[in-house]
Amino acid sequence: MATAKGESTALLSSDLLYDILRRLDGPSLAKAACTCVDFCSISKEEILWESACRSLWPSTCRDDVKRLITSIGGFRSFYADCFSLIVNEDVPAVPSDANLPYLDEWAEADYYGDIDEKRASHPHFISIVDVRYKGRAVYSKVIWGIPDADGYNGWFHNSPFRIDLLSYSDGDEAGDNAAVISVRDGLPPIMSVERERKDGKLWKELYEGIKLSWIIVNRRLKQAANLASWSPLGGQRHWPTDRNFLLRFGSILPAKGILPCQVAECILIMKFSIVNAGNEEGGHGTALRLTELSMQLEDMAGAHVNGRNSLLCSQGSVELSEKQELQRGLGELPLVFEGSE
């Protein structure tokens, strides 16, 4: 079989092979690279992975983001870091009968101990966020730096960490105005809010079709990681009113040496509001507007993590992503990506 594959590809020019591979998405491209030497060689071309990144993350089409990705190792490495979910294999399982300390028993030093302030100060973080609905880009934003984290005042470091993405401008306000999903995007029309409350058709389509990617990049360490779970982990209809839908994404970040529980939960909240519920004649004006997209961190007891420790956990997530990439052998062998899609 291997000989047959080699003979068949030998009859094709490299340009034709390249044209075949450039039409593939990232996971398919990685799998094709495992089939033969020719595909393996061509699949290392950065332009192929740039195309794969652009189709998955519209934000990577921006010139400033392209320069950023090139500076931290290239599009192939970026895809490997950010497509896969974060896996914390080094965190030991806690026995069910373990006597864990209650929140009020944790010493202040457990949260504000002697940690290298340079590592806890405002790192060179960039957030690259993309929202898609049924494959179509709905919203994209790039935030350079952690808002309000100047590294000098104690307010940010000691207060609960939270980023509300819609509150900050990246210099491209057109992206904010486009954060609407309508029937033209595949959203089912609804006759009225009352009907939606009974059958939940709109909620079901939104929950199954929405995808979120929240990538953080550390320019100084040239590392990146995706903190989102791609698909929602949970949600709530009609919160706090009949016209609001709340979706919850996230991941578990390493916090060894940072928090007593050794892990932190990164919670990403996305909220949509019905801006047009249609009418009794057909409901073709149905539309949802993105009204919230935020990030916060909590420990396993549900307490908010402060700014300094949140930055340390975020730093740990990109370091873990880099470690997982090295374990997979990127750069030495073709890589078959495992992801959520």
Assess whether pLDDT exceeds 50 at residue 338. no
* Model confidence pLDDT, tens digit, residues 170-223: 555 444 456 899 988 889 888 888 888 888 899 999 999 999 999 999 888 888
pLDDT-based confidence at 238, cuts 50/70/90? confident
Residue, of 76 and 116, whose pLDDT is higher: 76
Is residue 297 within 8 A of residue 265, CB to CB? The reply is yes
Lowest mean pLDDT among 125-129, 141-145, 311-315: 311-315
Number of Cα atoms under 13 Å in the Cβ half of residue 226: 24
How far apart are the C-alpha atoms of 248 and 234, rounded to whole Å? Answer: 5
Place of tokens 């990617």: 213
User: Which pLDDT score is estimated for 159?
Assistant: 85
- Which residues, other chains included, contact 154 with Cβ-Cβ below 8 Å and sequence gap of 6+? none
* Model confidence pLDDT, tens digit, residues 286-297: 899 999 999 999
This prediction's pTM: 0.81
User: Which pLDDT score is estimated for 87?
Assistant: 67
CB atoms within 10 A of CB 329: 10
Assess whether pLDDT exceeds 90 at residue 332. no
Assess whether pLDDT exceeds 70 at residue 90. no
Tell me which DSSP letter residue 212 carries.
E
Place of tokens 């992206």: 175
pLDDT-based confidence at 321, cuts 50/70/90? low
Place of tokens 């400033």: 64
Arithmetic mean of pLDDT over the chain: 78
Picking from 113, 110, 119, 112, the residue whose alpha carbon sits closest to that of residue 151 is: 119
CA distances from 238 to 153, 187, 246, 274 (A): 39, 17, 8, 10
User: Which pLDDT score is estimated for 244?
Assistant: 93
Assess whether pLDDT exceeds 50 at residue 264. yes
* Model confidence pLDDT, tens digit, residues 272-281: 999 877 654 4
